Structure 1
Amino acid sequence: MLTSSERVFGGRFASGAAPTLPTLLAGRAAVAGDEPALTWLATTLTWAALDRRVTAVATALCQVTEPGQRAAILIARPVDHIVAFLGALRAGLVAIPLAPGNRAAVTDAEPSIVLATADTVAATRRFLSASDTCGHRVLAVDIVEETREFTEAPVAAGDVAYLQYPAGVMVTHANVVANARQAAAVLPGRTIVTWRPPSDPLGLLLAVAVPITTGRPVVLVDRSGFRPPPDAGTLVSATDPDLGRLQEAFAPGALRVCHVVAEATAVVTVEGEPAGQRIAIVGPGGRRWPTGEAGEIWVSGPNVGRGYWNRPAESARVFCAFLADDDEPRWWLRTGDLGFLDGAGALSVTGRIAAGHDSQDLQVTAKAAHPAVHEAAAFGGEQAVVVVELRPGALPPRGEVERAVRAALSAEHGLTPRRVVVRSLGGLR
């Protein structure tokens, strides 16, 4: 599948020469091995120590798996989770970072092996035995023996590095390195702080990808009652439930609010500014909406994932959209988020297309509701805003199209839209 990243950036990540997180980690260990890489509670690993632990896990995995197979990570302790994740990548596997107990994701991904810690192996086996899956090997990553003899499995930058749940987004090696560089360009401080678990898109980016890509150490903290270390910075999702308290905990400018989209690896904008990506606000017919008007947020860039695991039709619809008035052909990601761009190009996110009513189904219904309708777009699920454009020259009586659209949506979907906007060639009617 051609991705927006491969098209937009001329295939610069298409060859196997582009760096991956394991190769970047090896480089850090070689030139700055004694410097701290990550700290959690009383544990600090240097780059060299982290690299050795990752190699040990990769060596053990290579003895019982084949490159390209999937490895689920069911580990709560963040340091062990990070080691397991990087070890899976270094072994050429597709990692699946999960919170322990995520039965739905394990069933969907069908991993060949599950990574745990020595004190959780028995509980992990019991958990797996109750799952609707085949038997799994379980490897305790904290007791594998270190080794100096290891050849890293060759992978291409366009190969899938990990699956990101709950949706099962396929993130490639190139995607995660690209998003790490995008985020690093706007991330303040010489030390990174994060309270998000590595199973979370933003947590994985801040705890693993950005530190390895930039060489900045990361401190992993509990979100309750911590004090940021001096000269530390972080990114926080605009939807974080503790946003207000976290903003008070950091020095001015040390915490920056970002918009996170799992299908785009993680970070799309920081303080409203696009993080090295193209952003379009799109209305009916896949046409770009003018400045200040709200519509669906579309994204294109090297960080956009390959698609959804085992969902080709949905992947094509979400990851392979075309903008009708684009300056050159490229694929766009339909984020499902709603927002608008201001005159300076900054993004404001206003909502989310909710589950329960597929926007495509609503659009088909609205388009067929009246013969004067040429195109339609629907946003917002249960609180839907439906925008319809009239055919050129169509001048139906005022209110007739709106009533027809509302009646059709009610009859076919049991939905009462919050608003129906009717656009003609001359503007809103």
Structure 2
Amino acid sequence: MSVSVSGPEPAAARSLPETLHVRAATQPTDRAYVFLDDRGEENCALTYGELHAEALTLSRRLADVARPGDRVLLAFGSGPEFIVAYFACLHRGIIAVPVNPPRAGHVQSSTRAIVRDCDPAAVLTVPGLLASVGAALDEIRPGVRRLALDRDRRADVVTADALTADALTEGGDLRPPDLEAIAFLQYTSGSTAAPKGVMVTHGNLVANQEMIRRAFGHDERSTFVGWAPFFHDQGLIGNVLQPLHIGATSVLMSPAAFVRRPLLWLSAISRYRAHTSGGPNFAFDLCVSRAAREAARGRDIGADTRTNGDGDGDGRLDLSSWKVAFNGAEPIRAETLARFAETFAPHGFRPEASYPCYGLAEATLLVTGSRPGRGPRTITAARDGLARRSYVPAAGGLGRGQVLVGSGRVLPEETVRIVDPATGQVCPPGAIGEIWVSGPHIARGYWRNPEASTATFEATCPDDEPGRRFLRTGDLGVLVDDELYVAGRLKDLIIIRGRNLYPQDIERTTEQAHPAARPGRVAAFAVPDPAAGERLVVVAEVRETPDVLPDDVAASIRAAVVREHEVSIGDLVLTGASELATTSSGKIMRAAARARYQDGGFPAWSPGARAASQPLAAQLDRSTP
């Protein structure tokens, strides 16, 4: 099945550096970004005029360490320095490479892999991280130049008053970039393989920013609140670049602050009257669990969350301004949407504000999205139909059905097809196949990886119009009434005795089988078996729970999987907290779990052992960008 929707061309295909220049000339004192500390208080702010002036100044300094086309690492946390550095690179024609900043002096293995892949000329970071980043780079690629960005010691800054309307075409510093040139490398999360550098062009950014604007219903009054890391596409494209594209304000907090005190996120939405905010599915679950904990302690979750553990402030939590609560970057669960809406309805949250969406780095960010104010759509599919890779409505919506949440509609200026991954033929209506996408937001390919680029970005349909190339997303899905429903990852599909099983379905059943199983911390995958061909393996993290026996947990999980999916678990591994590796958006890295299982396995969970604390903080700390 295919959908192709066309819309009117935007009035001007303006690159982001050009857009920033216009914002600085017309809105110089408007706050572009507001940064909150770990208690939710304003730490600093950056106006459009300040951002443009500082980016121009830094771009001139960059000429000493890199040339146009060189790669420069951006190793920053969630502060203004990253945004200044990113736009300085865009101005200079240097390819920015955002990476996960070091934590406690440790440079992540994923960052080391990125350095080897992109061969950077220099690294930009803050003074406090320069030593640890520099030492790691010296081990991998000696000679990388280092440049510290210290906004407290700014000098020779071009003021916003000095910018004139025609300055854009004068001099090299403000020359508009070629829309076909690479703006930055967005490294993939590595959930199924080693990170690859997606080559995102200036034109890709323009196209996807306009798609997001239309799909989310944004204008200059659409305030954002965000916490996703800037090295992740959701944090950069959604929370940083989209507000600039529309001339709005973005209020930003660190991922660590969100994980420690998730209700601060909702407090910021309330306080700044945000129109748009969101995150992966686990973020909404985390807010619900924290709200339940606060309620159990007798605390009012409706109070301003800045003043104590999460409550007892002067202001009241009011989420009525929140029009687009986007949910993406990992499988979306109907029960998550329902629990969140029920928990926060007394505080003004409306269920129709829930906005499921689907995207990936190879498409810059957004592919499909809901309609603002419509709320999520769901279907209940018969499990035996899913096993045959087809959507068949479950009888009466009940029984042995699996609920799927829609990820929105196909957007203007793109084509989406559901394709048989083996033949390349478009699937008939109702069939589940690989999601293929074509449009101006599809990136150029992978950095210095022509084989993978051809396989992923150069797909063709035999019956399609000549010359049209598609991105093979690697995701399985189905279109029902013009809504895209994502069924899972093609590489993660489990085939047992000819039946197709989706790992996220088995993982969900495992989580719900026993209270000791930790939500969002289960990996299901298949390994070769000499007798049966494939054997189902489930690795489940178990929370520390008094008087719980491992045998009871295992029996409950095994019985639930047989009952729901008519398949037996070949090997069930119960392990402790924070043993399963995740990506930066919280997705379980199933390939990494499979490799660890085959290389020696996971430590067995013991009810007497102390579980690791801050599991979600560890999830972010150990993630791959």
Question: Same fold by TM (over 0.5)?
Answer: yes
Partner of 1:423: none
Match of 1:145 among 144, 155, 163: 155
Q: 1:174 aligns with which of 197, 203, 209?
A: 203
Q: Secondary structure at 1:181's aligned position in 2?
A: helix
Distance in 1, matches of 2:136 and 2:533, equals: 40
Q: CA 1:136/1:414 → structure 2, altered by over 3 Å: closer, same or farther?
A: farther
Q: Which residue of 2 aligns with 1:164?
A: 186
Alignment-derived partner of residue 215 in structure 2: 186
- Are the aligned partners of 2:17 and 2:176 in contact in 1 as well (CA < 8 Å)? no
State the Cα distance separating 1:154 from its structure 2 match.
4.9
Q: Assess if the C-alpha contact under 8 Å between 1:194 and 1:218 holds in 2.
A: yes
Residue among 486, 492, 501 paired with 1:349:
486
The answer for unaligned runs of 5 or more in structure 2 is 37-41, 102-106, 159-170, 188-194, 288-324, 326-339, 371-407, 506-527, 537-564, 567-625
Q: Note closer, same or farther for the CA distance 1:32–1:379 as it changes in structure 2 (3 Å cut).
A: farther
Letter in 1 for 2:367: V
1:242 to 283, 298, 321: 283
Measured in 2, the distance between the counterparts of 1:68 and 1:331 equals: 26
Q: In structure 2, do the counterparts of structure 1 residues 297 and 241 end up closer, same or farther at CA, with 3 Å as the change threshold?
A: same
Alignment correspondent of 1:136: 144
Change (3 A) 1:290 1:114: same
Which ranges in structure 1 are unaligned for 5 or more consecutive residues? 1-7, 367-377, 384-408, 420-429
Distance in 2 (CA, whole Å) between partners of 1:318 and 1:76 is 31
Q: Distance in 2 between matches of 1:118 and 1:205?
A: 26
The question of 1:317 aligning with 2:446 is answered no
Of 340, 362, 366, which aligns to 1:263? 362
Deviation at 1:235, TM superposition (A): 5.3
- Relative to structure 2, which stretch is displaced further, 187-196 or 29-38? 187-196
Query: Are residues 1:155 and 2:177 paired?
Result: yes
Whether the 8 Å CA contact 1:294–1:339 is kept in 2: the answer is yes
Structure 1 position 144, deviation (Å): 5.1
Deviation at 1:74, TM superposition (A): 0.6
Please state how far the C-alpha of 1:134 moved relative to its aligned partner.
2.9
Distance between the aligned counterparts of 1:108 and 1:26, measured in 2? 32
**1:28-427 paired onto structure 2 within 5 Å:** 28-41=23-36, 42=42, 43-100=44-101, 101=107, 102-130=111-139, 132-142=140-150, 143=153, 145-148=155-158, 151-152=173-174, 154-165=176-187, 166-187=195-216, 190-221=222-253, 222-223=257-258, 224-226=262-264, 227=267, 228=269, 229-234=271-276, 236=278, 239-244=280-285, 245=287, 247-248=340-341, 251-252=349-350, 253-271=352-370, 272-276=408-412, 277-283=414-420, 284-343=422-481, 345-354=482-491, 415=534
8 Å contact kept, 1:34–1:47: yes
1:57 partner amino acid = L
How far apart in 2 are the matches of 1:71 and 1:415? 44
Q: What is the rounded CA distance, in whole Å, between the counterparts of 1:287 and 1:163 in structure 2?
A: 31
Q: Which residue matches 1:4?
A: none
The CA distance in 1 between the partners of 2:282 and 2:504, in whole Å, is 23
Q: Which moved more, 1:330-339 or 1:207-216?
A: 207-216
Does structure 1 conserve the Cα–Cα contact (< 8 Å) formed by 2:56 and 2:173?
A: no
- For residue 254 of structure 1, report the CA deviation from its aligned partner: 4.5
Secondary structure of the 2:452 match is helix
- How far off is 1:382 after superposition? 12
Give the CA deviation at 1:232: 1.5
Distance 1:251 1:55, change over 3 A: farther
The amino acid across from 2:204 in the alignment is N
Contact 2:77 2:230 in 1 (8 A): no
Q: Is the CA contact (8 Å cut-off) linking 1:71 and 1:112 kept in structure 2?
A: yes
For 2:90, what is the secondary structure of its paired residue? helix
What does residue range 10-25 of structure 1 map to in structure 2 within 5 Å? 18-25=13-20
2:513 is matched with none
CA shift, 1:294, in A, is: 0.5
CA offset at residue 29 of structure 1?
Answer: 0.4
Query: What RMSD, in angstroms, separates the aligned Cα atoms of the two structures?
Result: 3.3
Change (3 A) 1:381 1:306: farther
Q: In the comparison of the two structures, how many residue pairs are matched?
A: 362
Contact persistence 1:72–1:96 (CA under 8 A): yes
Answer yes or no: is the 8 Å Cα contact 1:115–1:138 preserved in 2: yes
**Matches of 1:270 and 1:262 in 2, distance apart?**
15
Does the Cα contact within 8 Å between 1:382 and 1:415 map onto a contact in 2?
no
Deviation at 1:236, TM superposition (A): 3.7
How many Å separate the matches in 2 of 1:69 and 1:112?
6
**Are the equivalent residues in 1 in contact too, given 2:417–2:435 (CA < 8 A)?**
yes
Q: Which residue identity does 2:411 align to in structure 1?
A: A
Deviation at 1:146, TM superposition (A): 3.5
Cα distance in 2 for residues equivalent to 1:105 and 1:240: 27
Distance 1:135 1:254, change over 3 A: farther
CA-CA distance at 1:176 after TM superposition = 1.3
Q: Is the 8 A contact 1:56 1:144 kept in 2?
A: no
- Quote the Cα distance in structure 2 between the aligned partners of 1:251 and 1:382: 28
Q: Secondary structure of 2:263's partner?
A: coil
Would the aligned equivalents of 1:232 and 1:254 in 2 still touch at CA under 8 Å? no
1:184: Cα distance to partner? Answer: 1.4
Q: Give 1:416 deviation, angstroms.
A: 6.5
CA contact 2:73–2:97 (8 Å) conserved in 1: yes
Q: Which amino acid aligns with 1:134?
A: P
Task: Give, in angstroms, the shift of residue 71 of structure 1.
Answer: 0.7
C-alpha displacement at 1:242, in angstroms? 1.7
SS of residue matched to 2:86: helix
- Write the distance in 2 (CA, Å) between the matches of 1:154 and 1:29: 15
